[in-house]
Amino acid sequence: MKRTQFSLGFIVRRSMVHRRVRSLAALLALTVSAAVATTLLTLYVSLNRQLHQQFRAFGANIVLTAPDGSTLPSETLATVRAIAGSESRIVPFAYAVAQTADGAPIVVAGTDFNAARAMDSWWQVSRWPNAAAATPGSPVAAMVGTRAQGFLHGDDFPLTYNGHTLALHTEATLRTGAAEDSRIFIPLAAFTAWTGQSASTLEIQAPGSAAQVEDLLHRLRAALPGVQVHAVRQLVESEGRIVDRTRSLMLSSLVLIALTVGICVLATLTASVLERRRDFAIMKALGSTQHQVALLFLLEAALLALAGAAAGYLLGSLCAFGIGAWNFHATIPPLWQAAPAVLLLNLFVALLAAGLPMRILRTMEPATLLRGE
C-alpha cells in the first residue's frame, strides 16, 4: 500500500514538473477563478454590511403611531424593545401645537435627544442639546428648526399650551430640508410635564434585509393590534433592490467565470491526456488498474485546484482590499469564510473539467497505442 502511494506521488510530481507549461496554464486558470471568486464574495459581504449601515443612517424604516391623535399605551415602548431586539434603534416622539408670545401656532415635539442623535445622524444639527445637564428652574433646552426660528424672538422664548407656559432656550438649530425644520424639539420628559401627553409615535430603525424588516413588521402588528404599524417603503424597498441586484450580479459573474475557467482547464487536461497517452498505456500494460490511472489523473487535477485556491484567495483578498480603498474609501478585511467556498468551487471546476479526459483514458487500449496506431 505504501509502495502504491509512493508511486502515485512520484508520478504526479514528475508529471507536473516535466509538463510544467500545461500545468502552469491550468494552475493560472484556477488561480484566476479563485481570485475573482474571493474578490466578489469579499466585496459582496463587506459592501452588503456597509449598505445596511448606510441605510440605517437615513433614519427609521418602521413607524408606529397611535390612532386618532391619541397617545401610545405606556407598555408600548417596552413591548417594541422586546420584539425588535437590542440592535434596533427606537426613538419616541410626542407632538403638540403651542403658541408663541405673538400667538402664532408652532409645532413642538418631545423626544429623546440621545436616541434621535443615534438614529437620525443625517440631521444637520449645530450642537445636540444635553438634556441631562438641565437644572431645575432654568429654561428648557430646545432644538429649533431653521424655519421655526422666524417665528421666535431671540434665543430665550416662552411657549403656551392649554394655558400652561414653558420657558425655552435655543441650544441648537436643526436643518433637514423636511418638516422637522418647522418644529421645535424639547426633551420628552419636559414635554410630558408641560402638556400632560406621552409619546404618540415610535420610530424604529431595524437592521437586516427587507424580508427581515417585513417579518418584524408582522410581529409588531400582531403584538400591538390597536397601534398603526407601517414601514417606510422607500427605505425598505430601495435597500432590498440594491441588495438583490448585487447578489444577482455576483452569482452571474461567478457562473460565467466558472464556465470560462472550466473550458480552459478542460482543454488543458485533455491535451495533457493526449500527450501522455503512451505513458498511460504503459502503466496499464504493466498492470495498473483503471482505478489507479483515474486516481492519478484526479490527484493531479485536485492538486492544481488546491494550489490555485490558495494563491487565488490571497490575490483576491488583496484585490478586494484595493477596490474598497480606491473606490469606496473603506477598509475591507479578508473574509476567512470565503476560503472554503473558493476551495470547493475550484475543486468542482477542476474535477468537472477532468470528466472528458477520464472518458478518453477509459477508452485507451494499451496494445493499440503501443503499436503506434
What torsion, rounded to 10 degrees, do the Cα atoms 142, 147, 152, 155 define? Answer: 40
C-alpha cell of residue 252 = 452571474
Please, what sign has the CA dihedral across residues 87, 67, 95, 239? positive
How is residue 153 annotated by DSSP?
A: -
Res. 1: pLDDT tops 50: no
Q: Are 97 and 107 a contacting pair, CB within 8 Å?
A: yes
Instruction: Assess contact for 144 and 172: CB atoms under 8 A.
Output: yes
pLDDT above 70 covers a percentage of the chain that reads 73
pLDDT, tens only, 201-222: 999 988 776 778 888 989 999 9
pLDDT digits (tens, 9 = 90+) for 53-99: 554 555 678 889 988 778 898 889 999 999 998 888 899 999 999 99
At 331 the three-state DSSP class reads coil
pLDDT at 54: 53
Pairing of strands 89-99, 201-205: antiparallel
pLDDT, position 167:
93
Calculate the alpha carbon distances from 269 to 1, 16, 258, 283, 284 in Å: 27, 12, 16, 18, 19
Reply yes or no on whether the pLDDT at 2 is more than 50.
Answer: no
Statement: residue 50 has pLDDT above 70: no
pLDDT surpassing 90 at residue 4: no
pTM check: above 0.95: no
Three cell numbers, residue 139: 429654561
User: Cell 484595493 appears where?
Assistant: 322
* 223 Cβ neighbours under 8 A, 6+ residues apart: 79, 83
Q: What is the mean pLDDT of the chain?
A: 79
pLDDT tens digits for range 110-149: 999 999 988 888 789 998 987 665 666 789 999 999 999 9
Per-residue pLDDT tens over the stretch 218-253 = 999 999 988 888 887 554 445 556 566 666 777 777
3-class DSSP state of 198: coil
Residue at grid coordinates 473539467:
353
DSSP per residue over 105-122, as a string? EEEEEEE-HHHHHHH-TT
Between 52 and 85, residue with greater pLDDT: 85
Each residue's pLDDT tens digit, 275-308: 666 666 666 666 666 676 677 777 878 888 888 8
Cβ distance 233 to 241 under 8 Å?
A: no
Question: So what's the pLDDT on residue 236?
Answer: 45
Alpha helices in 57-102 (DSSP H): 76-84
Helices and strands in the chain, H and E counts: 12, 10
State the pLDDT at residue 235: 47
pLDDT per residue as tens digits for the range 140-180: 999 999 999 988 888 899 999 999 999 999 999 999 888 89
Q: What pLDDT is recorded for position 196?
A: 92
Instruction: Answer whether residue 18 shows pLDDT above 90.
Output: no
Grid cell at residue 329: 474609501
Q: Is the pLDDT of residue 313 over 50?
A: yes
Residue 320 in contact with residue 46, Cβ under 8 Å?
yes
Per residue in 358-372, pLDDT (tens digit) is 776 666 665 555 555
Of all helices (H) and strands (E), which one includes residue 260? helix 233-275
Scan for cell 470547493, then name that residue: 344
More confident position, 12 or 75: 75
